Homo-oligomer: A and B are copies of this chain.
């Protein structure tokens, strides 16, 4: 697979960007680095003229092809490797790595997988709810003042990925095709249902435990087949529980009649 094909597997996703200038500047730097997919989560693009001016005519095709998704989940659907970006450090976060470490670790997967790099809004970044979709967390190393301009953060990530691709060794063994976000979310939904059935997940700390489970599976790099197996086990488990419950109900009814 040549470098252009590899770059076509990378998408930049901006979640609710506030400033049109940042969208345009992000499109321009993406194109500088050979990346031609930029997507937005939000109702519509603000100030299209400003976006076009900052993107320059060279990146006009990227701007024209932006799709606005109503949810991050929907935007991420076709991607198998999802990188969240953050400046903040907090509890319940995956261990952050630098964009260089992230690029090095995921580039072998690029031939067989689509990669999304997700950026939050300028003022507050990605929420914990949004970060749950990300298997990897990237934080640009900075001095004391850690809040980078959005387009600058996009620039450094695009640059690291492009640099990584042009310096990639030919003998790197390619990673297999991994499960897409759509398949993973479907699996998590089944898992959540099963774990709720057995009261492992209750009202309290529901999110906490599900995030831990997501981190656990995020590390394993599941394939499409893996998610199918887990989903089938969960469904079978739910079906079995239902049968048990029905039998239990029947017994109660019989005993009720006998007594």
Q: Which residues of A contact B (CB under 8 A)?
A: 7, 21, 25, 28-29, 31-34, 54, 56, 58-59, 98, 100, 140-149, 151-152, 155-156, 159, 162-163, 166
Task: Collect the chain B residues with CB atoms within 8 Å of residue A141's CB.
Answer: 162-163, 166
Question: Which B residue sits closest to A144, measured CB to CB?
Answer: B34
Interface centre among A54, A146, A148 (most CB of B within 10 A): A148
Oligomeric state, in copies: 2
Q: From B58, B98, B156, B159, give the contact of A145 (CB < 8 A).
A: B58
In the bound complex, CA of A79 to CA of B29 (Å): 30
Determine which of B7, B25, B100, B143 lies in contact with A152 in the assembled complex, contact meaning CB atoms within 8 Å: B25
Which residues of chain B are near A142, meaning CB under 8 Å? 32-34, 162
Contact: B34 with A100, CB < 8 Å? no
Q: How far is the CA of A33 from the CA of B155 in the complex (A)?
A: 14
Which of A29, A32, A146 has the most chain B CB atoms closer than 10 A to its own CB?
A32
Bound together, the chains give a CA A152 to CA B59 distance in angstroms of 15
Shortest distance in angstroms between A234's beta carbon and chain B's nearest beta carbon?
Answer: 43
Task: Kindly provide the distance from the CB of A117 to the nearest chain B CB, expressed in whole angstroms.
Answer: 16
Supply 18 further A-B pairs (C-beta < 8 A) apart from A28-B149, A100-B163: A28-B152, A29-B152, A31-B145, A32-B140, A32-B145, A32-B147, A33-B142, A34-B143, A54-B149, A59-B145, A98-B163, A140-B159, A143-B162, A149-B151, A152-B152, A152-B155, A155-B155, A155-B156
Q: Which residues of chain B have C-beta atoms less than 8 A from A147's C-beta? A: 32, 56, 58
In this complex, the member of A33, A54, A100, A156 whose beta carbon has the largest number of chain B beta carbons within 10 angstroms is A156
Shortest Cβ gap from A170 to chain B (Å): 18
Q: In the assembly, what is the distance between CA of A58 and CA of B87, in Å?
A: 15
Residues of chain B within 8 A of A54, CB atoms compared: 149
Of B25, B33, B145, B151, which is within 8 A of A143 by CB?
A: B33
Q: Name the B residues within 8 Å of A163 (CB-CB).
A: 98, 100, 141
B residues near A145, Cβ cutoff 8 Å: 31-32, 58-59
Q: Is the CB of B100 within 8 A of A143?
A: no
